Amino acid sequence: MSETKNNSNGTSRRNFLAVPVAAGVAAASVAAKASAAMSPAALMAEVGATSIQIPKRITESLSEAPKVGSFEGRGMTGAEVFAKLCKEEELAAMFCCPGNYTVINAIAAAGIPTYGGRCEGAMCAMADGFSRVTGEVTATSGTEGPGFTRMIMNVASAHAARTPLLVLASNMQMAWDDREYFIQTGYQQPTTTGMKKYGKRLIDPPRVHEYGAYAFRALKSGVPGVVHLDFPGEVARARYTESTKLTDFYTKERYRTESRAFPSPKDVEKCADMLTKAERPVIVAGHGVFHRKAWDVLQQMVERNEIAVVSSGPMRGHFPDDHRLSAAMSYKALMSADVVLFIGQYSMPSPTEYGFSPDVKSIRVHPEQEDLGRNWPLDLGIVSDERAFLEALDNKLGAKKRDAWVSEIAAQRAGFEKEIADIYAKGLTTSNETGLLHPAVIAKETHDFLYKGSIDKKQTVLGWGGWTIGNQTGRWLRAYRPGQVVNCAFQYGAIGPDMAMTIGAGAAVQRGVGPQKPYQGAPVFVITSDAGMAHSLFELDTASKYKIPIVALVYNNNSWGMWPNAAGSPRAEHMYLFQENLRYDQMAEGLGARGEYVLTPQQLRVALKRSYDIAAKQGISTLINCQAKKEFTVGVRLGPEPSVGAIMH
């Protein structure tokens, strides 16, 4: 590829490469010359190769003034036209690896927060994580073939979570379609079939703005989802000095609407009647309640009418776990419910997956008619935007006391707390006997540190995943405010994106976006497995580079959590096992973060405090390697659904 023309900053590629050479950096093309001029020791000292550091150019680059494209002068490239649209649509952030250069450079130049990392898959998960704790639209990008295909697991994960994620990739040229010319040929749109809300390969350069509008209309209307655009070079690099060359070049106020579906008054009345007559009503508040920022009206309504609430979805906290009406820890009480109202439940379970009575009456509110009745037969289906419905219902429902129901929820919550305390007690005994950390102990210690100590219990965003550790952790995590807990494995069940997803959430906290505003700059936590960590360990470099403080607890049981499936297959067992006692903590140190290696609850307690303090005060991340053994997997107890530890819906 030839790219010798000046870019929008007037710097040619050759000049850009020449600057570091002049400064003495060992660019490959001039290495011999540079080493001839300097001794190896002097060269090492000059480049600072002996210590891990954030190069000055990263800091400088991040503080460069934004420059949104315009038709003036040399005009805008197709990429700049699209970047300008993204800026106007308030795209919250983009997470990428280099590739698709014209587009990512234009998006960075436009002033949109951008992050570059080590693997496209992990960067895609970061974009997803940022969105899961804010509800905002984010983007991810990579190069056409390999980079894009590395994203796939996390694109699918975002699709399952209905994340409004813009997947951008490409830099190939249509002129070379089908010819296997040079490298990286790939066909993108078929690859994302079944994992996107909308997708398009842009093939007509003048329509770049038009299709950008298609993308944001899909991202910001109705049920959120993944949108995938690929940008061939002819589209990204086309240049425009006037708007008449672009089709449908008009503003977002005209190409999409903020108008929402309002519920029929008859439906609201019928729903209010069913809830009023109910003795033990429950609302399952899914991620639509979070996306539509309807948590305030939800809480106001249920408090007046004493309706229990259990939240569901890939993020938690849109109904606080410590609220007296929260049934998130009262899963046994849900069997008593006589009416259940699902709202914003995008991933719809079957009645045999949720713990409601076979006789419960069911109502579901959803923005799209065609999804009502899917998987769960309904007594009443209502088409409506979630917030609009809750406001309408709030106006219709009167006050009601349900003391017996509230008492039953409280009693079952106490039962749940005893249940997990008993599991913890057994885990603690196991830890004491083995000198290794049982997953229940890791979960409980983290719980106590984040919610029972000196830290504001509403503060810390935490992501969680993994099989054995996830099963134990989910039931100990609490969400006291919107966007506090990220359920990384939600629905798709991916092993691996946890830490990257939580770094993305950390970027949102660092910037104080949406519900993260009151906790801007606070460290984030993730609890994941050794199997999962392998997928995103290198992103500790990314977290360190952008000073996003994360404390990552790794449950190190020397194996895939599914190792019991080797039972009866002795020749297969090796495939399930890793080397034992791997030092993920030392790997973290090699990536510019801190490492802690812990084997006992006491060591873990100290490590949590030390790691948090350093993260909070110095912005430095830590990986806490919690040594366990594979046998702790035995007796996995699935979390009930819906509840605090739910991962399916």
CB of 336 to other proteins, least distance (A): 6
DSSP designation for 562:
T
CB of 126 to other proteins, least distance (A): 25
CB of 490 to other proteins, least distance (A): 15
Determine if the peptide bond prior to 146 is cis (ω within 30°): no
Element (H, E) at 554: strand 550-556
CB of 291 to other proteins, least distance (A): 27
CB of 648 to other proteins, least distance (A): 10
Nearer to other proteins, 142 or 561 (CB): 561
Neighbour tally for 68: CB within 10 Å: 15
Output the DSSP codes for 361-424.
EEEEEES-GGGTTSSS--SEEEE--HHHHHHHHHHH------HHHHHHHHHHHHHHHHHHHHHH
CA dihedral 91, 96, 100, 102 (to 10 degrees): 50
Of the candidates 220, 335, 354, 370, the one whose C-alpha atom is nearest the C-alpha of residue 286 is 354
Q: Give the type of residue at 524.
A: V
CB of 416 to other proteins, least distance (A): 11
**Residues recorded for the chain:** 649
CB of 353 to other proteins, least distance (A): 9
CB of 330 to other proteins, least distance (A): 12
CB of 348 to other proteins, least distance (A): 11
Nearer to other proteins, 206 or 493 (CB): 493
Residue ranges binding other proteins (CB under 8 A) = 279-280, 331-332, 335-336, 350-352, 354-355, 357-359, 362, 375-377, 404, 408, 493, 562, 564-565, 634-640
Nearer to other proteins, 20 or 640 (CB): 640
Nearer to other proteins, 280 or 364 (CB): 280
- The alpha carbons of the chain give a radius of gyration, in whole angstroms, of 26
CB of 287 to other proteins, least distance (A): 23
DSSP bridge partners of 481: none
Q: How far is CA 223 from CA 211, 261, 496, 528, in A?
A: 19, 12, 26, 29
DSSP designation for 228:
E
305 Rama sector, left if φ>0, alpha if ψ -120 to 50, beta otherwise:
alpha
482, 515 contact by CB (below 8 A): yes
Nearer to other proteins, 127 or 274 (CB): 274
Nearer to other proteins, 595 or 642 (CB): 642
CB of 303 to other proteins, least distance (A): 22
196 Rama sector, left if φ>0, alpha if ψ -120 to 50, beta otherwise:
beta
DSSP designation for 474:
G
Element (H, E) at 77: strand 76-77
Nearer to other proteins, 280 or 387 (CB): 280
Nearer to other proteins, 224 or 439 (CB): 439
DSSP designation for 262:
P
CB of 273 to other proteins, least distance (A): 20
Q: How far is CA 172 from CA 3, 177, 183, in A?
A: 14, 8, 9
Integer Cα distance of 386 and 311 in angstroms: 14
CB of 324 to other proteins, least distance (A): 17
Element (H, E) at 342: strand 339-343
Q: How far is CA 107 from CA 88, 115, 124, 187, 450, in A?
A: 11, 11, 16, 23, 37
Nearer to other proteins, 31 or 335 (CB): 335
Nearer to other proteins, 82 or 342 (CB): 342
Nearer to other proteins, 141 or 557 (CB): 557
Q: How far is CA 120 from CA 28, 91, 145, 499, in A?
A: 25, 19, 11, 14
501, 488 contact by CB (below 8 A): yes
Nearer to other proteins, 169 or 340 (CB): 340
Q: Give the type of residue at 118.
A: R
Nearer to other proteins, 241 or 350 (CB): 350
